[in-house]
Amino acid sequence: MPRLDEIQLRDPFVVVEDGYYHLFGSTDPDIWKADGIGFDAYRGVAPGVLTELEGPFEVFRPGVGFWSRKNFWAPEVHEWQGVHHLFATFKPIDGRRGTAILRSTGGILGPYEPWSDGPVTPAEWECLDGTFHVDDDGRPWMVFCHEWQQVGDGTVEAMRLTDDLRAPASEPVTLFSASQALWSAPLTGRAPDSYVTDGPFLYRNAAGVLKCLWSSFGPEGDYRIGEATSSGGVLGPWTQAAEPVFAADGGHGMLFDGPDGTRYLAVHTPNATPLERAVFVAVAEDATGSLRATGTIVR
């Protein structure tokens, strides 16, 4: 059975169900240039077990006629109306990269089948890393990134979804741009306004304040995770923390609670293929309600 540090995986996403820890992520050996294989998942060998895993389980494989062949990225599994849905990025054979939604009627490990008609992000936009959010009125949203490759200064956007999660229900609204964060820097060797947004993840802190983790690059080219805070709901306005939460060449973070109640930030590090691995960084809230790493890292 594989250990956590033996699994090549980017964009880790952990779901706890019935006490079992399920690890999803970008699992193709070459997610950049090769044709996509699909998505695999791993599960703890017993309830409450984090790093001793069984798998891989084939949770998605493209069928004949599937509309994408490349860039199978960043799967996230969310339960909505009693059914598991998988949000993932794909590059269409004809069209621009975006986030589509798949659905499983067989449980958390799938198999997942196409649910949306291709990406639900705008067809004319280059997008990635859609995540799921339910607002205070119980309405579903997708929060995603409009890519720097198209707009220069990448943004994080929010868009309402239909109740069946098959299509957009509103136009996107820009929440913030990458350059607004002091911890983010332009990409080395690119145009001066080339700032990356990547991997948004929304959560509420202990005081109920809406937060957004997201990734970008620092001045030394190190991949890192920062945090934005909303003074309202998903549409903000949003303000950026002055310092990153994690700055050790790792990104695309999300939060989950460990078996002992410790809050963990799941990241992949280093940010280099094929060396990337999922690690779990223990975090806690400081006096201001912001996340800080406590020094414990589970590998």
Q: What is the pLDDT of residue 190?
A: 87
**Distance between CA atoms of residues 152 and 246, nearest Å:** 24
Is residue 32 included in any domain, yes or no?
A: no
- pTM given for the model: 0.97
Cα–Cα nearest to 153, from 124, 181, 129 = 181
Question: Which pLDDT band, with edges at 50, 70 and 90, does 85 fall under?
Answer: very high
Q: What is the pLDDT of residue 191?
A: 83
Task: Give every CB contact of residue 287 below 8 A, 6+ residues apart in sequence.
Answer: none
Rounded mean pLDDT, 135-163? 98
Q: Would you say 99 and 77 are in contact if contact means Cβ atoms under 8 Å apart?
A: no
Is residue 2 included in any domain, yes or no?
A: no
Rounded mean pLDDT, 162-187? 98
Q: What is the pLDDT of residue 1?
A: 82
**Distance between CA atoms of residues 263 and 284, nearest Å:** 7
Is residue 292 scored above 90 in pLDDT?
yes
Cα–Cα nearest to 281, from 240, 238, 247 = 247
Is residue 120 included in any domain, yes or no?
A: yes
Is residue 189 scored above 90 in pLDDT?
no
Rounded mean pLDDT, 81-98? 97
Q: How many domains does the chain have?
A: 1
* Exposure letters 255-273 (e unless 16+ CB within 10 A, then b): bbebeeeebbbbbbbebee
Is residue 180 included in any domain, yes or no?
A: yes
Percent share of the chain, pLDDT over 90: 97
Domain extent at residue 254: 63-298
Q: How far is CA 66 from CA 38, 167, 276, in A?
A: 11, 18, 28
CATH of the domain at 220: 2.115.10.20
**Distance between CA atoms of residues 119 and 127, nearest Å:** 9
Is residue 61 scored above 90 in pLDDT?
yes
Is residue 162 included in any domain, yes or no?
A: yes
Q: What is the pLDDT of residue 250?
A: 94
Is residue 98 included in any domain, yes or no?
A: yes
Q: Would you say 68 and 90 are in contact if contact means Cβ atoms under 8 Å apart?
A: yes
Q: What is the pLDDT of residue 187?
A: 93
Backbone angles phi, psi at 144, to 5 degrees: -150, 175
Q: What is the pLDDT of residue 192?
A: 86
Least confident of 126-135, 272-281, 287-296: 287-296
- The per-residue pLDDT of the chain, averaged, comes to 97
Is residue 267 included in any domain, yes or no?
A: yes
DSSP state of 180: G
Residue 149 parent element (H or E): helix 148-151
**Torsion (CA) 221, 225, 231, 235 in degrees, nearest 10:** 80
Q: What is the pLDDT of residue 279?
A: 97
Question: Which pLDDT band, with edges at 50, 70 and 90, does 295 fall under?
Answer: confident
Which pLDDT tens digit goes with each residue over 225-264? 999 999 999 999 999 999 999 999 999 999 999 999 999 9
Q: What is the pLDDT of residue 110?
A: 97
Is residue 135 included in any domain, yes or no?
A: yes
Which pLDDT tens digit goes with each residue over 203-228? 999 999 999 999 999 999 999 999 99
Structure tokens, 139: 């309405």
**Distance between CA atoms of residues 262 and 281, nearest Å:** 10
Is residue 34 scored above 90 in pLDDT?
yes
For the chain, how long is the longest CA-to-CA vector? 53
Q: Would you say 25 and 12 are in contact if contact means Cβ atoms under 8 Å apart?
A: yes
Q: Would you say 227 and 169 are in contact if contact means Cβ atoms under 8 Å apart?
A: no
Category of 18 on φ-ψ map: left (φ > 0), alpha (ψ -120 to 50) or beta: left
**Distance between CA atoms of residues 56 and 42, nearest Å:** 5
Percent share of the chain, pLDDT over 70: 100
